[in-house]
Every structure is written in structure tokens, then in C-alpha cells.
Amino acid sequence: MGRKPRHSGCRLTPLVNRHAQFDVYANPSHSAAQGIPYVVVVQSDLLDALATRMTIPLASVTFADKAPEKLCPSIAVKGQQLRALAHYAAPLPTRSLRQVVANVAPQASTLIAAMDVVIAGV
């Protein structure tokens, strides 16, 4: 009597949080990696289903030596002091973020304050 529903071949699988907020990755741009070795994910984990992650580049202190501290705060990654360039925050495709090298969640308030400077000027 009724037709059988067609199977689309798509399977729903649970999302695995592979790119957590405040995870640090090697800079996927090899040409910029000399002065900016890492990027940090600042996007909320609630947006895991998106194919991109909002990131902030983490530059060597010498690369960003004249940057204002409130906008470009110092962040420690694996014992190295870096400057978070919040004004260069940009989405990157998740596929370009390969392997987590650190997580800087204990420094989250510093990164969020830098983004507040970019967005609200505070």
C-alpha cells in the first residue's frame, strides 16, 4: 500500500569535539609560521557543527614587539611567550587544524579580554 521510505545513505554520527575552545595548533600557513608559529581556537564549543573555527594567531614576541598589550596580550604556550594578535582573528577550516600542541584554557580570560578590545573597544 504505502511506499517504503528511501534510504539516503547518510548516517548520523555523534559529533566529537576535535577542535576545542582554547586548543592551540601549529599555524597551517607555512609561509607565516616563522613569525606566527601557532593559532588558538577561541570559538565556543557550542558551534562544533561548523566547518570552521575562529582563531587568533599567536606571534613570537619579536614579531609583535610594538603591539599594545591589551589588544595583543602575552600567552604562554609550551614554555614560550607569544603575543595573541586578536585584531587578526579569523576563521580557519577545521581540516587545516591538524594536531593540538597545547590548550591555554587557564589563559582564557586574557584572550577574551583581547577580543573585547577588538569588538567593543574596551
Q: Is residue 8 part of a domain?
A: no
Q: Is residue 101 part of a domain?
A: yes
For position 66, what pLDDT does the model report? 78
Please name the residues in contact with 112: beta carbons below 8 A apart, sequence gap of 6 or more.
42
Q: How many degrees, rounded to 5, is the angle at CA 36 between CA 31 and CA 39?
A: 110
Q: What is the pLDDT along the chain (122 residues), one digit of tens a residue?
A: 555 544 444 443 444 557 899 999 999 998 998 999 999 999 999 998 999 999 999 999 887 777 788 999 999 999 999 999 999 999 999 999 998 999 999 999 999 999 999 999 98
Nearest Cα residue to 108 out of 90, 89, 84: 84
Q: Is residue 9 part of a domain?
A: no
Q: Which three three-digit cell numbers place residue 101?
A: 600542541
Q: Taking the CB of residue 77, how many other CB atoms lie within 10 A of it? A: 18
Q: Is residue 7 part of a domain?
A: no
Q: Domain range spanning residue 106?
A: 23-120
Q: Is residue 30 part of a domain?
A: yes
For position 2, what pLDDT does the model report? 53
The 3-state DSSP class for residue 92 equals strand
Q: Rounded to an integer, what distance in angstroms lies between the CA atom of residue 121 and that of residue 85?
A: 15
Supply the CATH number for residue 111's domain.
2.30.30.110
The 3-state DSSP class for residue 28 equals coil
Number of domains in the chain: 1
